[in-house]
Structure 1
Amino acid sequence: MRLIHIFFPAVMIITLSAGLTPSKGHNSLFTVGIGAGLIGGLYDGIYPYKSLKAHGDFGLGAPDKLDGEIVVFKGKIYQTQHSGKTFIVDDKALTPFAMVNFFHPDKKITPPQPMDKAILFQYLDSVLSNVNGMYAIHISGKFSYLKTRAFPPVKAHQHTPLADMLPLQQFFEFKDCQGDLIGYRLPPFMDNTNISGYHFHYLSQQKNAGGHIIDLKASDIVIEIDVLDSYTVQVPSTKDFEHFDFKKNREEDIKSVERGGKN
């Protein structure tokens, strides 16, 4: 493994108009694997969850050979498989891609009204006015509707692009549920290493359901925001990674995967 450390002056991360400044302590995002690599088919696990916990107690990612989705919440790591089964992972298991940080909220907000996904993101944009800022976002409370997804597993060294696997994804719908959304809003300059824009995974209050967020209607929520000011990327050293084509433009594939479809 090779480590890339990328640091940015704090003034570039502060959202002055929203009154947001980084909290003292851990403000760094740690990423293992490369986002564009996962989108392009690098699904084999490379990094143990036990080691991932040393870099953060909050975050999201993908499990080994793509069997579902990963969420890191309050120091525990949960996997939601394509069957919908959700459980705490074995520390010895591996992830091909994950991003984590130690969550210390700088701001807590209670939106004044219910909102759907589009309005929620617009609302967050009004609060996170630094378009080049890095933010970890925790949303907790009640949802009148949630739609999530998870991909089925692949075979070892199978590199079918994720966008080509969209017909195989499994969707889960929840009504009048409670739980947590764990996610980030990352800037465009982090594309390829990570995935820019909003990205959330769900974990139910009972810790028995989850998945990547496709759609939602929030009815009574609280939003916590953690401002980040640096990030580190742990680069894989596998043969598959060494021969992967990062020159290919995967922008449309990323958008399709994030929204759960090509249309």
Structure 2
Amino acid sequence: MRSTIKYFYTAILFVFSLNFSGIAQQKNITSGSNLYSAGYASAFIGGLYDAWYPYKSLHQHGDFGLGAPALLDGELIMLNGKFYKTQYTGKTIPVSDADKTPYAVVCFFHAAKVYKPGKGLNKATLFKYLDSVLTNQNGIYAIHINGNFKYVKTRAFPPVQQKPYLPLAAMLDRQHFFEFNTIKGDLVGYKLPVFMEGPHISGYHFHFLSVDKTSGGHIIDLLTDDITIEVDILDSYTMQLPQTPDFNSFDFKKDRKEEIKSVENGKKQ
């Protein structure tokens, strides 16, 4: 009788361990479908440029993304698990994991769909093409575009010097622009739905990194040549909010939609 009871409990423990293992594996599988944000987009746009979130911690949440360096010192990109920043001088350099960021969004990128437009596209027609294949207007998409570009125009901001920091839209005259002809590289970006506006930047948002990792920045304009578009379809998002006095006292009542459009396009709307 004791032997029977012993085998009965052993069987229960075995089944339980299988179920637990299955749950753990499922978590690992779905973890790649999450968009992770360190910071709140409209607060960053509104002037919260002090760094607070370690790059080292971002590696736990993604290997692909974009954001801003400390004190707005350029434009940030994450590709294949490595961080780079393009400074206002035009120089692009690796970023140490020991540094921190005021704002970044990342995910673990796994291409679910691949597209080859087969023709040259400017920024407007590229976005129109993406709209034609990314048909869920409330979908969350991570987008990697790799290949040859006939023309790329990017920008980066110089670092801010002292508080109080101006909102980003009030510093458009401080932008530095960079233009490249016949260049190979990567676009890292997202298409986010309107309902995520505020905490995130809705619509398309891309940063560029040249194949030799020496040039980059926030995309202002482009003309593609031969490119491949990879898309990851995300189904959740999480956010870590700054635990800082500046964030605690930030005024969220102001509507910054037009400011965000100006910052994205590099000019007042």
Higher strand content, 1 or 2: 1
The alignment covers a number of residue pairs equal to: 241
Aligned position for 1:98: 104
- What's the C-alpha RMSD, in Å, of the aligned pairs? 1.0
The list of structure 1 runs, each at least 4 consecutive aligned residues, that deviate by more than 6 angstroms after superposition, is none
User: SS of the residue aligned with 2:32?
Assistant: coil
CA positional deviation for 1:157: 4.0
Structure number with the bigger relative contact order (C-alpha 8 A, sep ≥ 6) is: 1
Pair 1:247-2:217 in alignment: no
Partner of residue 206 from structure 2, selected from 200, 211, 234: 200
Query: Does the 8 A contact of 1:44 with 1:157 survive in 2?
Result: no
Pair 1:215-2:230 in alignment: no
Residues 130-168 of structure 1 deviation map (CA, whole Å, 9 limit, x = unaligned): 000000000000000000000010135432010000000
The 1-side partners of 2:30 and 2:256 are apart by 36
Partner of residue 181 from structure 2, selected from 175, 184, 189: 175
Query: Does the 8 A contact of 1:44 with 1:156 survive in 2?
Result: no
The 1-side partners of 2:258 and 2:30 are apart by 37
Runs (5+) with no aligned partner, structure 2: 1-28
TM (norm. structure 1) is 0.90
Query: Does the 8 A contact of 1:46 with 1:94 survive in 2?
Result: yes
Q: Percent identity?
A: 58
The 1-side partners of 2:86 and 2:44 are apart by 17
Runs (5+) with no aligned partner, structure 1: 1-22
TM (norm. structure 2) is 0.88
Pair 1:36-2:42 in alignment: yes
Aligned position for 1:226: 232
Q: What is the identity, as a one-letter code, of the residue corresponding to 1:203?
A: L
Residues 200-222 of structure 1 deviation map (CA, whole Å, 9 limit, x = unaligned): 00000000010000000001100
Higher helix content, 1 or 2: 2
Pair 1:82-2:88 in alignment: yes
Aligned position for 2:61: 55
Aligned position for 1:136: 142
Residues 10-44 of structure 1 deviation map (CA, whole Å, 9 limit, x = unaligned): xxxxxxxxxxxxx8551000000100011100000
Of structures 1 and 2, the larger Rg is shown by 2
Query: Does the 8 A contact of 1:142 with 1:178 survive in 2?
Result: yes
Q: Which moved more, 1:25-34 or 1:218-227?
A: 25-34
Partner of residue 127 from structure 2, selected from 121, 124, 128: 121
Q: What is the identity, as a one-letter code, of the residue corresponding to 1:147?
A: K
CA positional deviation for 1:54: 1.1
